A and B are shown apart, each in its own frame.
Chain A
């Protein structure tokens, strides 16, 4: 059981060590974090099946809050994806951050993130899952804003934080509702109660919808998607690890983990499908027009996560889990390649890139593999997972099947455009001298290999371990899907050669509209925060006026006192003193004795009264 505990703890300990000792280490503590995550990955592999540990955290009047970790096939699978991507991205980060003074902080935050994410995935308790969910959000906030000097970094971090927090409220209320209904935060107990029909359908739907809000916020689905493209101001390893492969997939993972709850509520599944479909389409369209390479990839992430939501909504959790893994591999490859492009070319704007294949053959090759995988070209990983989604969708009906084919086509278009505009054609900007160092190459290469080969692994042993059935795809739909991907790639490359939008200007306008609508809540909050102090100020001014008036009148009274009463009082006192002096002379100083006598008399009278009153 200690191995299970060590999996999330190792990165956390390494994070603390990196913060403390990082300055004295050659790689700024990054080697500690990468090593710890690799150890955690090895620990995951060596775990006995169904390892679990659980304890009661505290009880509150009939409610039991538990903490616990469990290595079920699903949690182990997703944890392995998280740790695997984290090792590769961490390796890349060693090179990416080389020579920077603030490296220890970076690696400490990265380690904190990985530890929290592994806790989130392995948790068997909703309370612990929520705790980790919060810490993951905190780490994302810190990492997006890592480069304080970068314009817009602080604003983007705040925006990401506020928008995901809106969803988190739903998750909090969702698990509190589950706690109220089941009496414990244990996930298995909740699933058992839902499957056994012990919870009313209304409560299940409410619970599922509330938790869905959390998933929507974290996975950047509509209407909470605008934060993800802005988060791209963060360092590239952060974009690759948090904002494409792992953290944003936490929403999809949440639905997967609690799938029986969602499956018991048709309304929640329908909502899931429609949100996913709308996000996948809108984000895919916007990605064809986005001018910044990393933002193209960010919108693509929204779109791909939407595709997973579509699969989940149509009753295909297995396909969603496949795509989660495949997407993690190929999207982080794309990001890491984009990071190398940015480092060499000094920009991410597509119209200023171009013709980099010659200068950056390694990054170009990795990008190509991952892009083909994204477009669903066989036999790469994306082909396998998109085929699985297509199988679920086409079984559901021709309409949904056509939707997935359309999404594959869109994916081909935007990634074809981004790839062609970056690596092919004429060079439109200068290229810096130095190439990526070995660590960056190693991380990128490993991920590209995974993007290529993971599909084969998934179709075989790995996938079989998952507790979800995977339907077969009909040959016709499969051919249609592959054709759509290839067509999209060609179309995107041909239309977007120079970095121009591949489908005209309409998607850009869609992006602007979407941004305006989805930012409204955040703007509203900040507007309120600005207006409320004005009201407060008015109240305050009133109070101040009263206080000021009292203060002035006190001063005035003081002057009157000083000039009139004071002087009079002084004379009175002087007169009394003179009288006292005469008296003193008269009584020859025995006044004190007389006073004392008076006190003694009083005391005696009191004592006598007390004695008489005593029973």
Chain B
């Protein structure tokens, strides 16, 4: 009977209300997606859109909630979770808009919202989970529907190979991570992150370092850190552009939030020298991503390497997160900005790809003349990714650099600045191709209300966050409070 009572005491369904709305909608949509025909095929996307909006409304109050734990210490309710869940939901919303337009009228139209919602729930859970079992579960949950999303294509292409690569690599990476988590359990006898943090204080350093090294593989896989990034270019290129956009954003944001919670709760005081390890990984990731991106001719591949480099910038903030109080809001702000600019770029590529069937650099030649709106959105997104003021990417990079300098990683700030210098080059090459070459072909990119809404939201966000960074940073500052 006591077990039952304890169970009742731990039950706190309000703590998972947004997740339940999304998961419930996804489950309800499973049979619906199999049955709908004709114009009813739009129904699942509409339901998913509604569910996401409701979930955002339910998540928002957590931004100001006092930190507490739910479900017997396995799940956190704190502003940190509220902020990152909002970012993830926003990313899912924009991706859904673009995906909806992309699959309009095709066989896959009813299927993608189900996968998207499930992956979103997984990502959201990862930001809140404080229990090793839940962490591995949610990592799987964000990954598997993502594999399915990559597999959904309008016409058969290299998507199968990409999915298989994604799946195999992900399975191996998450298995290694789960193995690492067993060490943590063995060392402390607990699955709870905070109990582990307390228990590791007296543990053997070598075992802790080994466990950390193994655990990092799983997060590194989702965040596309070098050397766990190998899947990303093929998957981004093989998948359809809006799905690649989703995969480049939602799992990454979720993994960053999860890693931050893991590091700050379970490995306090820079245990296993994680700040240094992450700083080195950040330097490797950004340098590698930018160098390879210099010579890409495929837009999706280029954006893949670019997103690898961007992950390196964010990781710079994570490395400083233990030392500098500036780091957490900087990371939050940058991830929000990254989401907007990256999804905007992918949405334009999706439009071009849908119409021309190609994502080669030549496909956007003269886009400025064929489609002024998407071309301008693309240019803004790329300039923001490159960190040109006054766009969101610039303020975000300044925050991250300041955080790195504050956190004692001045050398890393120098490396990052050099990388930003190199990166502008390939972004500018795309813009030059868009505006300063005469178009090869006459047709414009595919149009659709979903694309237009996605682009409009992202562009407005990129400009708004960039011109008035105070607001976004204020939100990110709220989200810097987490249960420790």
| Chain A residues within 8 Å of B, Cβ to Cβ | 57-61, 63, 65, 105, 127-128, 130-131, 134-135, 138, 141-142, 145-146, 148, 158, 161-162, 165-166, 168-169, 172-173, 176, 179-180, 525-526, 528-530, 532-533, 536, 539-540, 543-544, 546-547, 550-551, 613-615
Q: Report chain B residues within 8 Å CB of A65.
A: 398
CB 8 Å contact bits of B175-216 with A (1 = contact, 0 = none): 000000000000000000000000000000000000000000
Contact across chains for B164 and A543 when beta carbons are under 8 A apart: no
Q: Report chain B residues within 8 Å CB of A540.
A: 230, 234
Within 8 A of A (CB), among B237-256: none
Contact of B390 among A131, A162, A551 (CB under 8 A): A131
CB 8 Å contact bits of B405-424 with A (1 = contact, 0 = none): 11000000110011011101
Contact across chains for A60 and B399 when beta carbons are under 8 A apart: yes
When chains A and B are docked, how far (Å) is the Cα of A546 from the Cα of B171? 13
The answer, yes or no, to whether B292 is at the interface (CB within 8 Å) is: yes
Q: Give, as a whole number of angstroms, the nearest-CB distance from A120 to chain B.
A: 12
User: Would A162 and B292 be within 8 Å (CB), given that A59-B470, A65-B398, A131-B389 are in contact?
Assistant: no
Contact across chains for B169 and A543 when beta carbons are under 8 A apart: yes
Contact across chains for A58 and B469 when beta carbons are under 8 A apart: yes
A-B contact pairs, 15 of them (CB 8 A): A58-B468, A58-B469, A61-B326, A65-B398, A127-B398, A131-B390, A134-B424, A138-B428, A145-B436, A165-B424, A166-B421, A169-B421, A173-B414, A613-B1, A613-B4
Residue total for B at the interface (Cβ-Cβ under 8 A):
51
The answer, yes or no, to whether B325 is at the interface (CB within 8 Å) is: yes
Summed over the interface, the residue pairs from A and B with CB atoms below 8 Å come to a total of 120
Contact across chains for B294 and A529 when beta carbons are under 8 A apart: yes
Contact across chains for A169 and B432 when beta carbons are under 8 A apart: no
| Chain B residues within 8 Å of A, Cβ to Cβ | 1, 4-5, 8, 161, 164-165, 168-169, 227, 230-231, 234, 288, 291-292, 294-295, 325-326, 329-330, 388-390, 394-395, 398-399, 401-402, 405-406, 413-414, 417-418, 420-422, 424-425, 428, 432, 435-437, 468-470, 473
Contact of B413 among A63, A173, A532, A613 (CB under 8 A): A173
When chains A and B are docked, how far (Å) is the Cα of A58 from the Cα of B473? 9
When chains A and B are docked, how far (Å) is the Cα of A614 from the Cα of B5? 8
Q: Report chain B residues within 8 Å CB of A550.
A: 164, 168
Contact across chains for A148 and B436 when beta carbons are under 8 A apart: yes
Q: Report chain A residues within 8 Å CB of B169.
A: 543
User: Would A134 and B389 be within 8 Å (CB), given that A165-B421, A615-B8 are in contact?
Assistant: yes
Q: Give, as a whole number of angstroms, the nearest-CB distance from B73 to chain A.
A: 21
Contact across chains for A161 and B291 when beta carbons are under 8 A apart: no
Q: Give, as a whole number of angstroms, the nearest-CB distance from B269 to chain A.
A: 22
When chains A and B are docked, how far (Å) is the Cα of A529 from the Cα of B426? 12
Contact of B437 among A148, A180, A530 (CB under 8 A): A148
Contact across chains for B402 and A60 when beta carbons are under 8 A apart: yes
The 8 closest A-B CB pairs, nearest first, are A131-B389, A613-B4, A165-B421, A58-B469, A529-B294, A61-B326, A169-B421, A169-B417
User: Would A60 and B389 be within 8 Å (CB), given that A158-B425, A161-B425 are in contact?
Assistant: no
Q: Report chain A residues within 8 Å CB of B432.
A: 141-142, 145
Contact of A130 among B161, B389, B401 (CB under 8 A): B389
Contact of A127 among B330, B389, B436 (CB under 8 A): B389
Q: Report chain B residues within 8 Å CB of A58.
A: 395, 468-470, 473
Contact across chains for B405 and A176 when beta carbons are under 8 A apart: yes
Q: Give, as a whole number of angstroms, the nearest-CB distance from B452 to chain A.
A: 21
Closest chain A residue to B405, Cβ basis: A180
Contact across chains for A60 and B326 when beta carbons are under 8 A apart: yes
Contact across chains for B292 and A546 when beta carbons are under 8 A apart: no
Contact across chains for A138 and B425 when beta carbons are under 8 A apart: no
Q: Report chain A residues within 8 Å CB of B420.
A: 169, 172
Q: Report chain B residues within 8 Å CB of A105.
A: 435-436
Q: Report chain B residues within 8 Å CB of A176.
A: 398, 401-402, 405, 413, 417
- A61-B329, A172-B417 are known; give 17 further A-B pairs, CB within 8 A: A58-B470, A60-B330, A130-B389, A145-B432, A146-B436, A148-B436, A148-B437, A165-B424, A169-B414, A169-B420, A169-B421, A180-B402, A525-B291, A528-B291, A530-B295, A540-B230, A540-B234
Q: Report chain B residues within 8 Å CB of A168.
A: 421
Closest chain B residue to A530, Cβ basis: B295
Q: Report chain A residues within 8 Å CB of B1.
A: 613
Contact across chains for B405 and A546 when beta carbons are under 8 A apart: no
When chains A and B are docked, how far (Å) is the Cα of A5 from the Cα of B437? 33
Q: Report chain B residues within 8 Å CB of A180.
A: 402, 405-406
Contact across chains for B425 and A162 when beta carbons are under 8 A apart: yes
